[in-house]
Structure formats: structure tokens, C-alpha cells
Amino acid sequence: MVGEDLIVVGAGPAGMTAGMYGVRSGLKTLVLEKGISGGLSNEAPEIENYPGFDRVGGMELASKIKEHVSRYVEIRELEKVEAIEESSNELVVTTDKGSYRTRAVIMSTGTRHRRLGVKGESEFAGKGVSYCATCDGFFFKNKPVAVVGGGDSAVREALYLQKLGCRVTLIHRRDELRAERYLQRKLEDAGVTIRWNSVVKEIKGDKVVKSVILDSNGVESELSIAGLFVSIGEEPNSELAAKMGVALDANGYIITDKSQRTNLKRVYAAGDVTGGVRQVVVACAEGAIAALSAYNDLL
């Protein structure tokens, strides 16, 4: 069984940064990622608030971080962590490819897209229902589409799809957006249609999406579309942490102190899985703090 000082679970911005700081602190470190590096940041059409970049695509930024971090630490992609257990004052990390002993673990497992939970959503997932405009937007070029949501991500996706030539309708359940003012002004300038006080009740189609049923203050209507992009927030990937006994808040996010320590000894957490301000720059900072905390605790 391979021995490490530090294992980082998840290779989003937080996990990659934690891996780099772990090695630079002198810890034998390994990063394990169930998919590909970058996490949901790969799906951001455009990031305009990461220092050093006027604007940069999410996938491009994630690639640059990976390229830099890989000079220091090994990132093993497509290796899913299935369990973490304490054994003889160490932690045993079991994956779908093997087992590792480690002195400390950083959980940076990120979040996943929240679903609408309406009729037709599962049936048409990948057949017109998408959770990533960057991934799937090209297939709907010059077609009518709708984006559901009112936060920063939803507005960015609407703007991205508009640039592709899609005829975009933004569907929001309230009468004002939660997105930052700068993005709201860009949305107004782009002339994106907004359906206020509206919720999706059903997604309809045959082999692919054809329309959605909207409820607007008790009045139902049908909107013809070729694609529906759902951007209503995220849920934490904290199931693995919960199985270990890591404390979670009421929404399922991992609870940490200001040094990214959890309630379990030598178990830390960083990035979006801890909730709070879910931004790439914050995730990187938390990853660095978690690694430095692990180093100090292992001295």
C-alpha cells in the first residue's frame, strides 16, 4: 500500500493549489480526481474577475493551473475515491484503482449542478436539457433556447449563448436578478429576453426538447425552444466526507475553521464544498491555507 504525507481529493482549483502548496512545503503529496482536472470551472464560458486576466475561459484557466501545478505534484485523473478510513493513526484512502496510506487528507470535492426536479428533466437530459452552455451551446447555434436562473452563472450562460447566435430567453422565478450589477448591465445591452416571476413546470418534446411549460404567477404558458440550460446553483459533493464523520452544515457543505480544518484530526477541506463565496480565486486561497495547515499539524 502506497504511503503519502498528504492526499488531496479533487482536482478543481482548490485541490490543484493544495497539491502544489503541499509539495512546496515538503510533504509527499498526491492529488486524486474522479474525472478531469478543473471541476465546474471548466464550464464557465468566461471569467472576468480572476486577478491577472482581463477575461479568460474557464477551461483555459483550469488548464493553465493544471500545467503549472503538475510541475510540482502528480494529479491522477479518472481515479474515484470510494472511502477514507482511519487506521493505526493514519488514514486509508480507497479508490476504484487501489489503496493509499496517508497522514492527512484535504477534501476539495467541489459541487454539482442542482436539478430542477420537474417532469421531463431526466428524460431529456442530453437531448436538449443541459447544465453547461460551454459544453453544449454550439449545438443550438441560431436556435431558440432558454436559460433558467438569476445568478452570475445563469447570466453568463445567457450572454455566451447569445454570442453564439442563439435566441435566448432567461427564465427567473423572481422579479429581479441576483447576478452582480456589471453582468446585469451586459444582459440589458445584449437585449436578452427575460421572463420574470416564472418557473418551469414541465419540459416537453418527443425525441428532443420542443418546449417548456411555464407558470407565471399562476398563469401557465408554453414556450417553444430547442434547448434548456439549467443554471440554478450547485449542491456540495460531500457524501464521502459525511461517511467519514466530517461535520456538515444544514445545506450539506463541509464546516471548517479559518485554517480549513474540519472536526476530524488531520482532515481538511477547501473550495466550493465548504460553501461561502464560491469563486475560483477563493478556492485557490483555501487550497493553499489547507495545505499549509496540514504541514503545520504534521510537523
The reported pLDDT for the residue numbered 95 is: 97
What stretches in the chain show pLDDT beneath 50?
A: none
The reported pLDDT for the residue numbered 89 is: 86
Question: Which sequence positions are flagged as catalytic?
Answer: 132, 135-136
pLDDT digits (tens, 9 = 90+) for 177-203: 999 999 999 999 999 999 999 999 999
262 Cα distance to chain centroid: 21
The reported pLDDT for the residue numbered 1 is: 61
- Identity of the residue numbered 145: V
- Identity of the residue numbered 167: R
Domains of the chain: 2-112+234-298 (3.50.50.60), 115-230 (3.50.50.60)
How many CB atoms within 10 Å of residue 174?
A: 11
The reported pLDDT for the residue numbered 27 is: 98
The reported pLDDT for the residue numbered 261 is: 98
Q: Rounded to two decimals, what is the model's pTM?
A: 0.87
